[in-house]
Amino acid sequence: MTGETFDPASYLAGLEDAARVIRAPMPHGGSMVWHQWGAGRPVFLMHGSFGAWTHWTKNIPALVAAGYRVIAGDTPGLGDSDPPPDDWDIYSIGKLVAGAIEHALAPGERFHLAGFSFGGIVGGQAVQALEDRCDGFIVVGSNALGVRLNEARPDLRKMRSTMTPEEMLHVHRHNLGVIMFGDHGRIDPLALHIQQRNTRKARIRSNTIPRGDSLATVLRSIRVPVTGIFGEKDATAGPYMQDRRDVFEPLQHCRGFHLVEGAGHWAQYERPDLVNPLLLQALAR
């Protein structure tokens, strides 16, 4: 997906045009938006902070080709979804997502869910609420595990309205390199376009939620099969990756904890060649 002739905006537009858009009403008003592709067993995908369904751009085609119905969401307050109530927290937003999942499913239909970063934290709340219908939960690079976060990394740069488009692009490249990628050489035009598009639409922040233990609490309470996938060079984990392994592997329902060679936090984008087989392996169980 690189080269002079590749147009990131056109590529995303084509993927979006191929989707069925589902708008799930929320109790307080507005709707949560899903994009759905394919047919077969449903797999829900939840994205990270300041993100949208586009965080899964390099994984959706592979899952659809494998015969799954892929339903990728925009968390309330992010992407094209309407915002949650002003007093939202991880528990209330998890309930909104659980309700939106039920809206997208047929009565009694079962599902898998994969959540990246903040999407794994939010998705965990939804999985807990719908545990009796969930066949598997895949966590990709999520925190809120009650373990140490890596504080020794360069600061993210802020966008300013006075910046030129070139200066803004430079900021996006810097921030992707700091937090999302293990190999800065893999930051391609599509990644920059996705980052620019998603950050413009973001109306909520995850704030201190990743520093808590809400996901760890969910993982220890549910009996849904769980798989952990983390980039080997995840900047949010830094030298504390073993702490994450120590949360997952003791779980009786853990089906594997995988490190993705050379990948940073956004492992499923940076190394789809390694992550897509892991996703399909977890879904097949």
| Amino acid at residue number 172 | H
**Residue 3 pLDDT:** 47
Can you tell me the distance from the alpha carbon of 265 to that of 118, in angstroms, rounded to the nearest whole number? 11
The contacts of residue 156 (CB under 8 Å, 6+ apart) are 174, 175, 178, 179
**Residue 4 pLDDT:** 60
Q: Where are the domains of the chain?
A: 8-284
Show pLDDT as tens, one digit a residue, over the chain (285 residues): 444 689 999 999 999 999 999 999 999 999 999 999 999 999 999 999 999 999 999 999 999 999 999 999 999 999 999 999 999 999 999 999 999 999 999 999 999 999 999 999 999 999 999 999 999 999 999 999 999 999 988 888 988 889 998 999 999 999 999 999 999 999 999 999 999 999 999 999 888 999 999 999 999 999 999 999 999 999 999 999 999 999 999 999 999 999 999 999 999 999 999 999 999 999 997
Q: Which CATH architecture has domain 8-284?
A: 3-Layer(aba) Sandwich (3.40)
Kindly report the backbone phi and psi dihedral angles of residue 167, in degrees, each rounded to the nearest multiple of 5, phi listed first.
-65, -40
CB 84: neighbour CB atoms within 10 A?
23
List, edge to edge, every strand of the sheet that includes 68-74.
Answer: 20-25, 31-37, 68-74, 41-46, 111-116, 134-140, 226-231, 254-260
Q: CA dihedral in degrees (160, 161, 167, 173; nearest 10)?
A: 60
Q: Please state the pTM of the whole predicted model.
A: 0.96
* CA 9 from centroid of its chain's CA atoms: 20
Tokens standing for residue 241: 């990756």
Can you tell me the distance from the alpha carbon of 49 to that of 70, in angstroms, rounded to the nearest whole number? 20
Q: How far is CA 135 from CA 131, 155, 277, in A?
A: 8, 39, 18
Distance between first and last Cα of the chain: 31
Handedness of CA 270, 274, 277, 283 (dihedral sign): negative
Q: How far is CA 241 from CA 51, 202, 260, in A?
A: 23, 28, 12
